[in-house]
Amino acid sequence: MLKIKNLHASVEDKSILKGINLEIKPGEVHAIMGPNGSGKSTLASVIAGKEDYEVTDGEIFFEGEDINEMAAEERAHKGIFLSFQYPVEIPGVSVTNFMKTAINETRKAKGLEDMPAKDMLKLIREKAELLEIDRKFLSRSLNEGFSGGEKKRNEIFQMAMLEPKLAILDETDSGLDIDALRIVANGVNKLKSKDNAVLVITHYQRLLEYIVPDFVHVLYNGRIVKSGTKELAHELEEKGYDWIKEEVNA
Amino acid sequence: MNKYTEDDLREELKTKEYEYGFYTDIASDTFPNGLNEDIVRAISLKKEEPQWMTDWRLEAFKAWKEMVEPEWANVHYQKPDFQAISYYSAPNSKPKYNSLDEVDPELLATFAKLGISIDEQKKLSNVAMDVVVDSVSVATTFKKTLGEKGIIFMSISEAIREHPELVKKYIGTVVPQKDNFYAALNSAVFSDGSFCYIPKGVRCPMELSTYFRINQAGTGQFERTLVIADEGSYVSYLEGCTAPSRDENQLHAAVVELIALDNAEIKYSTVQNWYPGNAEGKGGVYNFVTKRGLCETNAKISWTQVETGSAVTWKYPSCILKGDNSIGEFYSIAVTNNYQQADTGTKMIHLGKNTKSTIISKGISAGKSQNSYRGLVKISPNADNARNFSQCDSLLMGNECGAHTFPYIEVKNKTARIEHEATTSKIGEDQIFYCNQRGINTEKAIALIVNGFSKDVLNKLPMEFAVEAQKLLEISLEGSVG
């Protein structure tokens, strides 16, 4: 599904990703862990197509197609979803209106008509229930005055609505209490299937108790320096990242 | 390759051409340039006005000659040469039509281009149209339905002939001839406009709508509108306009007077989309408008405006809250792009007891434009328990535009309660990327953000007008991507 080869990326001439190789197949859950400043969020942004990042070398293929030159919205249309670490506020635009626009723009890109209001309503109801979201919440302005937990739950609600092939969860656990974490993780698990994939980016092992990864990769200084199974996450939790740094620098 | 940065966006906003930039060639009956007493008399004669009206105009002209153009607004432009303007222009076909078939086909084509099919309007929407093209009404509909309720809705020229007692009683009572430079000019030379009277206790069953359109090179537009809501009546009035592209500046100095008698309510909504000039700031309409309403006891006047056009705008729809318990409201969206300049706001003059006013102003600036809010809240000594709430929000796009707020507050009564809130924000790249990531392209993202920002005001517009206003906001700010 996603194939990244020797990816180098920089922002404002500062090199951040220095040769990433990663392959994610349908049905898989991958986790990327690593200390602060290792390039985790940059990797998420580059896959999603953020303009500020310049790909200086390497390739990104999504379902066999080179997406490097594709605009962010085109990547979204193809089924790439990014759950933001810091979701932005859009005052005056309700969650419902935002989702309606996102879904219909995606349909338009595929040459489809707007989703009939009746179907839209049904979909919203169904997904709101899945994530235990109060209907009142949906008429509020997008992320405006939302608590940390509400913002993250809203991200996963959007993911549920858009049904992406690849969902990238960037530090989705940050700012969540244990109850919110469980709801968010349950939501992700319910949405998982053999046809889609999840890339979890996290600093801590906590979220991985709920969203269990098939593979864990450690990102350090712009490279994946170690890959393993979920056991690796436990090891990192116990020992911290210093031993990885030592191993790499040795 | 489709990388779209904020710089590209800014570039695109700059190169966006005026969507409705076309010109209809209708043979016109136009006066020679220049202004003097003879011209004023000639206008009055042409319109077959009674002597009192001619005298009223001449009085205004005398006052105007002694006045100077105001310079206090935060706008900079080359002052118009008032002797280089023609003060009368009318479509040279039959002045009145019994049916659409008689209307100049080219004119109908123009309406079609604007998306205003009179035919459709007649059939589908419950809207009566008094279409003003170059100062003279060419089509008036729904007159009969309105007539049954005793509602008078006609051009002001007709009203002067057919209802002189009403016009004479009210014209100039809210905006006197000598009120200001442009109001005086308008009083002397106004060519046409609309007149509306709602009798006592009548609720106008439909939105009354006027489309203005400037259509002759070098022709000033001096519209005069007079709306009178008699005791206990209600009317919602819509005013909307677009204009063809022009290289030279076109002066527009309209006057609108609203009178809401005891327990009456007037809603006055405007969508203004005159030619703003090109990307270099050349051309465009000068819009110097005096709009004011008078509220008697328990009366209410609401101004709602969406201003996207004109090179220079100078406009302050105001309310004089004369009667006790009267209410004034002002809801405004002003969009400026390229080199547009807008200095707009309102005046809420509290004279009566327990009077209330609300001001919500949303300014959106892009390109190299300057957008100013200027508002006065005045509480007079007798206005016990007066209340005002003002909110002025500015949204900036790019780094070359400006947003300014000039609130004036004069309080002479200790029981007054006044609140003022102001915010300034910028459309962030983060917001746009967030939308992009959800599959929404940049053009649509900006429309979404701008509409969200303007929601409080858009909600105040009548439904069919709100849709049009939303479309205008998108046209004014976006350009066609790809």
Assign B104 a pLDDT band (cuts: 50, 70, 90). low
Assign B276 a pLDDT band (cuts: 50, 70, 90). confident
Rounded Cα gap, residues A92 and A140, in angstroms: 8
Tell me: pLDDT of B167 over 80: yes
DSSP states along A137-153: GGGSEETTT--HHHHHH
pLDDT reported for residue B477: 72
Tens of pLDDT along chain A (250 residues)? 999 999 999 999 899 999 999 999 999 999 999 988 899 999 999 999 998 899 999 999 999 999 999 999 999 999 999 999 999 999 999 999 999 999 999 999 999 999 998 999 999 999 999 888 888 889 999 999 998 889 999 999 999 999 999 999 999 988 888 888 898 899 999 999 999 999 999 988 889 999 999 999 999 999 999 999 999 988 888 888 888 888 888 7
Question: Which residues, listed in sequence order, are joined to residue B135 by a DSSP beta bridge?
Answer: none
Q: Which of residues 170-229 of A touch B (CB under 8 A)?
A: none
Least confident of A229-243, B177-191, B412-426: A229-243
Pick A50's closest partner by Cβ from B433, B451, B455. Answer: B433
DSSP states along B1-45: -----HHHHHHHHHHPPPTT-------EEEPPB---HHHHHHHHH
ipTM: 0.96
Give the end-to-end CA distance of chain B in Å, rounded to a whole number: 11
Rounded Cα gap, residues A53 and A16, in angstroms: 9
What three-state secondary structure class fits A37? Answer: coil
Cβ pair B436:A98 closer than 8 A: no
Name the region of A92 (left: φ>0; alpha: ψ -120 to 50; beta: rest): left
Percentage of chain B exceeding pLDDT 90: 49
The reply to whether B406 touches chain A by the CB within 8 Å rule is no
Residue at B307: amino acid letter: E
Rounded Cα gap, residues B235 and B228, in angstroms: 9
Q: What's the gap between Cα A185 and its chain centre?
A: 13
Size of interface A-B (CB pairs under 8 A): 84
Rounded Cα gap, residues B198 and A227, in angstroms: 79
Which residues, at least 6 apart from B288, have a Cβ–Cβ distance to it below 8 Å? Answer: B182, B251, B252, B253, B312, B314, B315
Q: In whole numbers, what is the pLDDT of chain B averaged over residues?
A: 81
Interface test with A, best of B438, B444, B459 (most A CBs within 10 A): B438
pTM of the model: 0.81
What values do phi and psi take at A183, rounded to 5? -65, -45
Residue at A12: amino acid letter: E
Which residues, at least 6 apart from A221, have a Cβ–Cβ distance to it below 8 Å? Answer: A18, A38, A39, A248
Question: Which residues, listed in sequence order, are joined to residue B363 by a DSSP beta bridge?
Answer: B334, B394
* Residue matched to tokens 């400037």: B214
What does R_g of chain A's alpha carbons equal in angstroms? 18
Q: Which token pair is A231?
A: 């056991």
Q: Which token pair is B413?
A: 């009564």
Catalogue the E-assigned strands of B77-206.
Answer: 89-91, 127-133, 136-140, 152-155, 194-198
pLDDT reported for residue B134: 42
* A124-164 per-position pLDDT tens digit: 999 999 888 888 889 999 999 998 889 999 999 999 999 99
pLDDT reported for residue B374: 94
CB B291 within 8 A of CB B179: no
CB A57 within 8 A of CB A6: yes
Cβ pair B451:A93 closer than 8 A: yes
Cβ pair B439:A92 closer than 8 A: no
CB B451 within 8 A of CB B312: no
pLDDT reported for residue A45: 95
* B34-67 per-position pLDDT tens digit: 888 988 998 898 888 999 999 999 999 999 999 9
Rounded Cα gap, residues B153 and B158, in angstroms: 10
What three-state secondary structure class fits B362? Answer: strand
Query: What's the domain range around A134?
Result: 2-249
Give the end-to-end CA distance of chain A in Å, rounded to a whole number: 34
Q: Please, what is the Cα angle at A141 between B392 and A163, to 5 degrees?
A: 150
What values do phi and psi take at B239, rounded to 5? -130, 125
Q: Which token pair is A200?
A: 């979890």
* Residue matched to tokens 């547009």: B340
The reply to whether A109 touches chain B by the CB within 8 Å rule is yes
Count of domains observed in chain A: 1
Pairing of strands A166-170, A80-83: parallel
Pairing of strands A80-83, B136-140: unpaired
The reply to whether A102 touches chain B by the CB within 8 Å rule is yes
Choose among B476, B474, B465, B116: nearest CA to B268. B465
Pairing of strands B255-260, B284-295: parallel
The reply to whether B453 touches chain A by the CB within 8 Å rule is yes
With residue B404 as reference, give the H or E element that holds it.
strand B402-411
Tell me: pLDDT of B367 over 90: no
Taken in order B136, B139, B144, B145, the sign of the CA dihedral is negative
pLDDT reported for residue B29: 66
The reply to whether B452 touches chain A by the CB within 8 Å rule is yes
Shortest Cα–Cα distance, B392 to chain A (Å)? 15
DSSP states along B174-214: SS-TTSSHHHHHHHHH--B-EEEEE-TT-B-SSEEEEEEE-
Rounded Cα gap, residues B26 and B106, in angstroms: 7
As a dihedral over the C-alpha atoms of residue B312, residue B314, residue B315, residue B321, rounded to 10 degrees, the angle is: 170
* Residue matched to tokens 């800014």: B10
Cβ pair A71:B2 closer than 8 A: yes
Cα–Cα distances in angstroms (integers) from residue B289 to residues B155, B224, B244, B285, B317, in the given order: 19, 10, 19, 12, 8
* B438-460 per-position pLDDT tens digit: 999 998 999 899 999 999 998 89
- Sheet-wide strand order for A166-170: A80-83, A166-170, A197-202, A29-33, A215-220, A223-228
Rounded Cα gap, residues B31 and B186, in angstroms: 16
pLDDT reported for residue B120: 44
User: Using a CB-CB distance cutoff of 8 angstroms, which residues of chain A are in contact with residue B362?
Assistant: none
The enclosing domain of A111 has a CATH number of 3.40.50.300
Count CA atoms within 13 Å of residue B294 on its CB side.
Answer: 18
Any idea where the domains of chain B sit in the sequence? 22-428, 429-482
